[in-house]
Structure 1
Amino acid sequence: MIKIEYPPYNFKIKAEKGKELIFDGARKRWVSLTPEEWVRQNFIQYLLQEIQYPASLIAIEKEIQLGELRKRCDIILYKKAIPWMIIECKEMNVPLTEKTVGQILHYHQAMPVPYLCLTNGNHVFIFEKTENSFREIKTFPV
């Protein structure tokens, strides 16, 4: 598990029709401020400010095909225009269990990448693809 410190950021938040919205700078639009979205927005700022990952190589809620189902990956990082890492965000009170790991492994079947990341804001697990399995790593790959 990796413990990360989220950088301070002045999020744009507004209320509209009884709902809280947050401005997603990556998607350039207002989105519903759910507990999961709060984790996603903070993690994006971590990627941009701390890791210095280029915004142009980050996709938010990218749709993928899982058999007959269409699902959305929370965050996909690209390297040289090729998917490099899938990041699954859960709200802060959702424990990261085998079930949540299973979800991101399903995404990996549809979009094989070298790295998988799972976070609930408090905890971050990163897994690196080996020959025929995954191993947990203790630092964010650069």
Structure 2
Amino acid sequence: MLQPPPSLNLPPFDSRMMAEGAVQMIFDVFRKKYVALTPEEWVRQHFAHYLVNHLHYPKAWLKIECALAVNGQKKRADIVAFGKDTQPFLVVECKSYEVKLSERTFQQSALYNHTLQAPYLAITNGLRHYCCRIDQQQQRFEFQSRLPTYG
């Protein structure tokens, strides 16, 4: 029997869920497959749908669990939104709704962005969200009161 995940501080979206044995699964429309419904995945799915449905990011220009190399190690950024110039525009680090966001969470996102060079970073646990704009030339960032809309 499927247990409904908790409500988040993000708009709801139409989701397809199923059970595969004892594992709850959710259909990821971005990766076009069912994935295990972990607390972090619930946040990732909500946030990706929020970007598309409310901030007008093109679905085709979002990459979920985007593979990248950081200091010679294989890593995955939770969500990378690409701009019209096909360059990374926004990097999002998602954590479980049970995890408190911290400076360490932000540093993880910033480390991934060292490779990607996106002008915006966001972190979320589905309950709280933070976004900053990166000034690469000045090597500084400024927190934003909201996420950038697409375009």
Q: TM-score range by the shorter chain?
A: over 0.9
- Number of aligned positions between the proteins: 139
Q: What does the per-residue CA deviation read over 1:7-35, in whole Å, with 9 as the maximum and x for residues that have no partner?
A: 33221111112100000011100000000
Partner amino acid, structure 2, of 1:42: H
Q: Structure 1 residue 57 and structure 2 residue 39: aligned?
A: no
2:49 aligned partner: 45
SS in 2 for 1:71: strand
Q: Equivalent residues in 2 for 1:1-142 (5 A)?
A: 6-80=10-84, 81-130=86-135, 131-142=138-149
Cα distance in 1, alignment partners of residues 80 and 73 from structure 2: 18
Percent sequence identity over aligned pairs:
35
- Normalising to structure 2: TM-score of the pair? 0.88
Q: How far did residue 52 of structure 1 move?
A: 1.5
Counterpart contact for 2:55–2:148, Cα < 8 Å = no
| Structure 1 runs (4+) greater than 4 angstroms displaced | none
Query: What root-mean-square deviation, in Å, do the aligned CA atoms of Structure 1 and Structure 2 show?
Result: 1.3
Which ranges in structure 1 are unaligned for 5 or more consecutive residues?
none
Cα distance in 2, alignment partners of residues 13 and 49 from structure 1: 19
Which ranges in structure 2 are unaligned for 5 or more consecutive residues?
1-7
Cα distance in 2, alignment partners of residues 102 and 10 from structure 1: 32
